[in-house]
């Protein structure tokens, strides 16, 4: 029997009583045979065209989702940053020997040890030690060096370089980390730098990224990336200079620093310095003018004005009288990242390779004067 001969399919034959009863009940709702609309039989159902209201609602949902995602990311970043900057008071730092002999408290360093507040670490003639600066950075201590952790806690970490050379890289607000010498201190402004010193405090600082403030009341210097500065045993800092400065410029600058700036504004030695200056040496000239405003009365002011022509020039009179903020337009025109935007130096937050800290030539420690 063909199933399509069944009454349910083709009304052929006799239907069962229940089926006939159901047919009678539904008969008033039946559509007459042969009167089905062609469109109903042929045309497929299509989705209604989106209205402007629906499109607007969809765009709103997408925008709201993006905003919520960005807000969640910002909140997570804020929580991570707060965790990075926080540090329990007096908690020790993680320390490890990268190579050679490293001693702490007079004994060989053991795996997993921490350098406590007040503790000292020393390296042998072939040793290099790695210290985690809380959660904000990293420090490497070179061979034949000694260092003491003097203070550590949220917002303030200080070490003292007793002798030798260190490299540090920090990603934190200005002033969170500092290195003390016998009569001066180097304050990190969110950067990477190397610092070396003998037992008297004479040494040199070189900045690889960001800025470092170094010196004491007798002479401070703001040192930007790509620059170096000499440090004297009396704690005073020299004038920073670009690493690409000529030997003649560096020698003339050292002579000027040795005389503590006690030269007339039109002195022949200052003229020689200016004759060898390049636009990249503007950091040195501006630092001299910051320390010795009277030099604005001579050609140094004019040379700076030529080097920084894109910035509005401060009035010569304001500089001569040492007006606060008079030199700000020129400082802001220097081609270096702003110290207050330390978070843009995010590469400083990444871990360094084992040989990244002390690559390149060693900076000579100046002789004591």
Whole-number average pLDDT of the chain: 83
What pLDDT is attached to residue 82?
64
The CA-based diameter of the chain, rounded to the nearest angstrom, is: 129
Residue 80 pLDDT > 70, yes or no? no
**Residue whose structure tokens are 């001066």:** 184
Q: What backbone phi and psi angles, to 5 degrees, belong to 217?
A: -60, -20
Residue 362 pLDDT > 50, yes or no? no
Residue 39 pLDDT > 50, yes or no? no
Q: Residue 71: beta bridge partners? A: none
Query: Measured between alpha carbons, how far is 236 from 246 in angstroms, rounded to an integer?
Result: 23
- Closest residue by Cα to residue 231 from 182, 271, 176: 182
Q: Could you give all domains of the chain from N- to C-terminal order, each with its CATH number?
A: 91-225+338-369 (2.60.120.1440), 240-335 (no CATH)
Query: Measured between alpha carbons, how far is 175 from 210 in angstroms, rounded to an integer?
Result: 13
What average pLDDT does this structure show over 125-154? 95
Residue 190 pLDDT > 60, yes or no? yes
DSSP assignment of 164-200 equals: EEEEEEE-SSTTSEEEE-SS-EEEESS-EEEEEE-TT
pLDDT band at 368 (very low <50, low <70, confident <90, very high): very low
354 burial class (0-12, 13-18, 19+ CB within 10 angstroms)? Answer: exposed
Residue 328 pLDDT > 70, yes or no? yes
Per residue in 143-177, pLDDT (tens digit) is: 999 999 999 998 899 999 999 999 999 988 899 99
What average pLDDT does this structure show over 90-119? 94
Q: Is the pTM of this model over 0.75?
A: no
Residues 6 or more apart whose CB falls under 8 angstroms from that of 244 comprise 226, 278, 280
Q: Is beta strand 177-180 parallel, antiparallel or unpaired with respect to 156-170?
A: parallel
Q: What backbone phi and psi angles, to 5 degrees, belong to 49?
A: -65, 135
pLDDT band at 366 (very low <50, low <70, confident <90, very high): very low
DSSP assignment of 7-68 equals: HHHH--S---HHHHHHHHHHGGGPPPTT---HHHHHSPP-PPPPPHHHHHHHHHHHHHHHHH
What average pLDDT does this structure show over 265-281? 89
Structure tokens that stand for 224 in this block: 């930007």
Query: Measured between alpha carbons, how far is 266 from 201 in angstroms, rounded to an integer?
Result: 33
HSE-up (13 A, CA, CB side) for residue 319? 26
Task: Return left, alpha or beta for 13; rule: phi > 0 is left, psi -120 to 50 is alpha, else beta.
Answer: left
What pLDDT is attached to residue 41?
47
pLDDT top residue among 197 and 29: 197
What average pLDDT does this structure show over 212-217? 84
Per residue in 235-245, pLDDT (tens digit) is: 889 999 999 99
What pLDDT is attached to residue 50?
63
pLDDT top residue among 86 and 360: 86
Q: What backbone phi and psi angles, to 5 degrees, belong to 247?
A: -60, -40
């Amino acid at each position: 029997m063909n199933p399509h001969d069944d009454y349910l399919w083709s009304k052929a034959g006799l239907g069962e009583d229940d089926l006939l009863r159901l047919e009678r009940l539904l008969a008033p709702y039946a559509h007459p045979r042969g009167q089905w609309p062609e469109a109903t039989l042929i045309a497929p159902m299509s989705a209604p065209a989106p209205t402007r209201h629906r499109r607007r609602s969809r765009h709103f949902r997408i925008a709201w989702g993006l905003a919520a995602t960005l807000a969640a990311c910002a909140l997570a970043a804020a929580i991570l940053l707060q965790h990075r900057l926080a540090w329990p008071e007096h908690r020790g730092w993680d320390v490890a020997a990268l190579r050679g002999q490293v001693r702490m408290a007079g004994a060989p360093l053991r795996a997993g040890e921490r350098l406590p507040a007040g503790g000292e670490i020393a390296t042998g003639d072939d040793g290099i030690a790695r210290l985690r600066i809380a959660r904000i950075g990293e420090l490497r201590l070179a061979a034949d060096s000694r260092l003491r952790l003097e203070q550590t806690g949220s917002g303030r970490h200080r070490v003292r370089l007793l002798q030798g050379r260190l490299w540090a890289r920090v990603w934190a607000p200005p002033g969170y980390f500092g290195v003390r010498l016998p009569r001066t201190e180097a304050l990190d402004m969110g950067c990477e730098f190397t610092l070396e010193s003998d037992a008297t405090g004479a040494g040199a600082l070189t900045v690889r990224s960001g800025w470092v403030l170094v010196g004491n009341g007798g002479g401070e210097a703001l040192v930007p990336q790509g620059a170096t500065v000499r440090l004297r045993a009396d704690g005073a800092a020299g004038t920073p200079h670009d690493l690409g400065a000529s030997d003649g410029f560096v020698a003339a600058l050292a002579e000027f620093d040795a005389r503590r700036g006690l030269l007339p504004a039109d002195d022949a030695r200052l003229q020689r310095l200016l004759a060898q200056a390049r636009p990249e040496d503007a950091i040195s000239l501006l630092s001299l003018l910051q320390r010795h405003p009277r030099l604005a009365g001579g050609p140094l002011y004019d040379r700076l004005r030529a080097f920084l022509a894109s910035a509005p020039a401060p009035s010569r009179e304001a500089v001569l009288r040492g007006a606060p903020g008079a030199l700000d337009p020129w400082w802001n025109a220097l081609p270096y990242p702003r110290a207050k935007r330390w978070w843009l130096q995010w590469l400083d937050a990444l871990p360094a390779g084992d040989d990244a800290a002390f690559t390149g030539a060693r900076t000579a420690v100046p002789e004591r004067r």
